[in-house]
Structure 1
Amino acid sequence: MNLENIQSNKMRTILQFSIPSIIAMILTSLITVTDGFFIGNFVGKEGLAAINLGLPIVYLFLAVGLMVSVGGVAIAGMALGSNDINKCNSVFNQTMCTTMVATILLSVIVWLSLDPMLHILNADSQVAMIFTDYYVIMLLELPIMVINASFGMFIRGEGKPQYFMKVNILNVLLNILLDYLFVRWFAWGVKGVAVASLLSALVTLLYILYFFINKSSVYKFGRFTFSGDVLCSTLLNGSSEFVGEMSMSISMFAYNYVILRNIGVDGVTAFTIVGYIAYIFSMVIIGFGQGASPLISFTYGAEEHFLAVNLRKITNFMVLTAGAMVLLLVLFGSRWYSSLFVKSAVVEQMVHSGVIIYAVSFLFSGINTISSFYFTSIGKAKESAIISSARGLVILLICIFTLPSLFGMTGVWLVSPITEFLTLILSLFLIGKESKYLSRRLTQS
């Protein structure tokens, strides 16, 4: 990275770092959508509902993985900005070892918790059987998925996001091919989808390991001395991402609990289908965040605070534009999309009416996400955690437990727009405080 280049080409540099990340994240989300397509068309709406019931598990893994890796990448990025290469490598190796141990232990804990989770949700026998078949295998895949994503952040952090993009293209193409083979031809159902994900993740891991062994110019595998201080700083700095993803896990569990009791399996299926668009858009926004974060960390670590602020503002403009474009696409394509996954008139009508309401949240969610990334990147975990917990837990849960009971399925769709709008007010307030703080520092200096 070069401060002069970043200063003179802000937007181009953000896009240079973000576009490969966005493509990688979209490709990752397409795996989920492809899985949903095969499950919906070859297993049925019960299959889609069962997979959605387990999404809290996926978010739990992401919570732990992002807390460690985002926190570690931010520390390593600031060390790189101050030209401390030894610390970069030490943080890299400790971060990856911590991620591996934490996710493996998490798999064991979740495996022991599958039956209690189904009991609380009171899922019917068919949905419960599909759920178990799928997630028993996925508990082998999810640690590898998180480890791959963590490695990818360090690949982007040393300025080579294109390599990780190519690896993700391979992952997606292989996953789609294996989905088609295992589900369409072998008729393995949800087990086939899970096995396809596992094999694709393993192949992806091999290509990533090849990069760090043979191609990496900054981060290298090697011995390191475990540092409790680095671990504490990593977990603290990544706490907002943990809060955000953990909140998603809790809120998704709450969503499923409320929808099952108020609407039933059809409601969960419709929410799952709408969730695919929300998931793709969130991956785009995270891609922008992951692309901008190393630039913000680097410039802030180099004492170029207002350059970091400008990078945030430009990224916010980009995500707002992206949100408006996706909303327009949803307005024109909702009818086609509603019939893509299942052949059920009831579910299709729910999706058609609901996706338009839900998509309004895209106008606000991008700015909230980038604001959270910004505070994490400059080492201000408290502000980032406040934003993440507001949009992912506090405000969201209040809306989940009130709006559906008042307005039925329409209330379900209203939850996200109202939550994101209220969080936007909070984000702007915290950004305003940070701007005043930087202005005072500039005046004093």
Structure 2
Amino acid sequence: MNCFKEYTKYAFFNVLGMLGLSCYILADTFFVAKGLGSNGLAALNLAIPIYSFIHGSGLMLGIGGATRYSIAKSQGQTDRMNLIFSHTAFSVCVLSIVFFTVGLLGADVITRILGADDAIFSMCRTYLQVLLLFSPLFMLNDMVLCFVRNDGAPRLVMVSMLAGSFLNIFLDYVFIFSFRMGIFGAVLATGFAPAIGLAVQSTFFIQKKNHFRLVKRPLRLQLLGQILSTGVPSLITELSSGIVIMAFNAIILGLMGNIGVAAYGIIANLSIVVIALYTGIAQGIQPLLSRYYGAGTDRNVQSVFKYALYTVILLSGIVYLGVFLGADWLASVFNSEGSHTLQTIAVDGMKLYFTACVFAGSNIIFSIYCTSTDNPRPASILSVLRGFLLILPMAFVMSRLWGMTGLWLAFPATELSAAALGIFLLQHSVKQQRKTSST
């Protein structure tokens, strides 16, 4: 019963927090659609993958480090706890400097690679460049969120994410409509959001509730490798979103042009919110799984895993019913110009694309289960298949055979195939554990 109560507490707080975090981009989508029309939507959607790269890198280090930290904490290894945090913080600094430098020097090149034409080049370049320049704040916020959550403060994590989201929504309106700053105002509001999140979390350190701190020790490559290997599935999960968007944008530009990309922008950004539900559950159960695993309470590990899967199935049914019944209204919210073509593409796409919900959610839960129990290899295999090896050929082949319908169905086909593989990997892992315990 205590296990279920803890699951409910962590999952609830983190789902709310992740919904708030996902609204960073959704708010931009709404206000850009209202203020800049379909060209603004197209520019935003072409630039969004950059956010996935930044956020994914922050989560790779944050979840990788925090998972190792939680296991060490459950085993009373104080020195190792501080060492893990220090190595993670160092890695965040190094990687965020790389992103910042790319933003200063390579924005034009990246914008062209993403496929922006002359009509939307300036807006797309502005959005992705400012995102890259704010990458240190995004990545630091991701890291601190993970460690504070694993240090027993999921409520504070939720409050910080919601505070950042509300600030972003408020500033979006002020910058775009009051100050008429266009897409620069939208991305500037997004960049300020993690700053308020970090300010909220600073109370945790001011009150000295944290059990981790920075220490000066020589860099241990083995420990750094363990942190990275544990966090890689989280990186690939986030990167897959960006890669899917980039691949779909390239295909849609050939099939339907900018209006098709704008319609897909609606679907992609709604998908970010839906995936945030599953990511919230996954990040909520990660501290529990790592702690129970470190303490050797396998029964609790399995219970939390099952609770998460049941929750995903229930939420997926609710989400798809809402999308199916409300697709026309959802598309119209972002269709400020009243384009019939955009409306038709978006509505048809939603009803097909979101059939992937239950499979995508199950895959995310499986990945976090493996990484949290110090078994990242199956999660990495599954993440690579979902993010690269399955979705890309399916998208190109199915769109060639059945046009836009085939493209929309490529995502659920990929997630279904990956889920089937996940079941096989899980059964294989259980058999291996039983053989190990029997010997």
- Indicate whether the TM-score tops 0.5: yes
> What is the CA distance between 1:121 and its match in structure 2?
4.3
1:359 aligns with 2:379: no
Match of 1:270 in 2: 263
Letter of the aligned partner of 1:20 in structure 2?
F
Question: CA offsets per residue over residues 223-273 of structure 1, 9 Å max, x none?
Answer: 444322210111112122233333333332222111111221111111110
Q: Does 1:423 align with 2:418?
A: yes
* 1:407 and 2:402 aligned: yes
**Residue 199 of structure 1 pairs with residue 192 of structure 2:** yes
* Cα contact 1:262–1:405 (8 A) shared by 2: no
Counterpart pick for 2:142 among 132, 142, 149:
149
Which consecutive unaligned segments of at least 5 residues does structure 2 have?
A: none
Deviation at 1:56, TM superposition (A): 2.1
Cα deviations by residue, 1:355-408 (Å, 9 ceiling, x for unpaired): 111111002111111101111111112111011011111110111111122222
Contact 1:61-1:146 within 8 A present in 2 as well: yes
Question: 2:401 corresponds to which letter in structure 1?
Answer: L
**2:305 is matched by which residue type in structure 1?**
R
Q: What SS does the aligned partner of 2:97 have? A: helix
Segments of structure 1 that go 5 or more residues without pairing to the other structure are: 1-7
Q: Residues 46-445 of structure 1: matches in 2 within 5 Å?
A: 46-342=39-335, 343-444=338-439
Which one-letter code corresponds to 2:387 in the other structure?
Answer: G
Shift of 1:178: 1.0
Aligned equivalents of 2:51, 2:288: Cα separation in 1: 28
Specify the code of the residue in structure 2 equivalent to 1:58.
Answer: Y
For residues 241 and 267 of structure 2, the distance between their equivalents in structure 1, rounded to whole angstroms, comes to 16
Query: Which stretch shows the higher mean deviation, 139-148 or 368-377?
Result: 139-148
Q: CA deviation at 1:10?
A: 2.6
One-letter amino acid of the structure 2 residue matched with residue 366 of structure 1? G
Contact 2:99 2:133 in 1 (8 A): no
3-state SS in 2 of match to 1:402: helix
Aligned residue type for 1:314: Y
- Give, as a single letter, the amino acid of the residue that structure 1 aligns with 2:393: I
How far off is 1:296 after superposition? 0.8
Q: Which amino acid aligns with 2:58?
A: G
Aligned with 1:21 (options 14, 19, 28): 14
- Give the CA deviation at 1:210: 3.6
> Is the contact between residue 391 and residue 419 of structure 1 (CA under 8 Å) also seen in structure 2?
yes
CA contact (8 A) 1:213 1:220 kept: no
Residue 221 of structure 1 deviates from its aligned partner by: 4.1
Distance 2:192 2:270 in 1: 25
Contact 2:103 2:129 in 1 (8 A): no
Shift of 1:110: 4.7
Q: How far apart are residue 97 of structure 1 and its match?
A: 2.4
8 Å CA contact 1:63–1:243 kept in 2: the answer is yes
Normalising by the residue count of structure 1, what TM-score does the alignment of the two structures yield? 0.94
Match for 1:115: what amino acid? D
Distance 2:254 2:199 in 1: 44
Describe the superposition over 1:393-441 as per-residue Cα deviations: whole angstroms up to 9, x where unpaired. Answer: 1110111111122222212211111111000100000000111122233
Q: Kindly provide the amino acid, as one letter, of the partner of residue 345 in structure 2.
A: M
Report the AA paired with residue 112 of structure 2.
H
What letter corresponds to residue 346 of structure 1 in structure 2? T
The alignment covers a number of residue pairs equal to 437
Question: Contact between 1:18 and 1:288, CA under 8 Å: does it hold in 2?
Answer: yes
1:39 corresponds to? 32
RMSD: 1.7
Deviation per CA, 1:43-80: give whole Å up to 9, x if none: 11111111111122112112322221211111111101
Q: Could you tell me whether the CA contact under 8 Å between 1:213 and 1:221 is conserved in 2?
A: no
Superposed CA deviations along residues 106-137 of structure 1, whole A, max 9, x for unmatched, are 22125433323333344221211111122222
Matches of 1:309 and 1:220 in 2, distance apart? Answer: 32
After the TM superposition, list the runs of 4 or more consecutive aligned residues in structure 1 that deviate by more than 4 angstroms. Answer: none
Using the aligned pairs only, state the percent identity: 28
Q: C-alpha separation between the residues in 2 aligned to 1:430 and 1:443? A: 20
One-letter identity of the residue aligned with 2:94: V
Alpha-carbon contact 2:160-2:197 (below 8 Å) kept? yes
* Distance in 2 between residues matched to 1:74 and 1:418, nearest whole Å: 31
1:313 CA displacement:
1.7
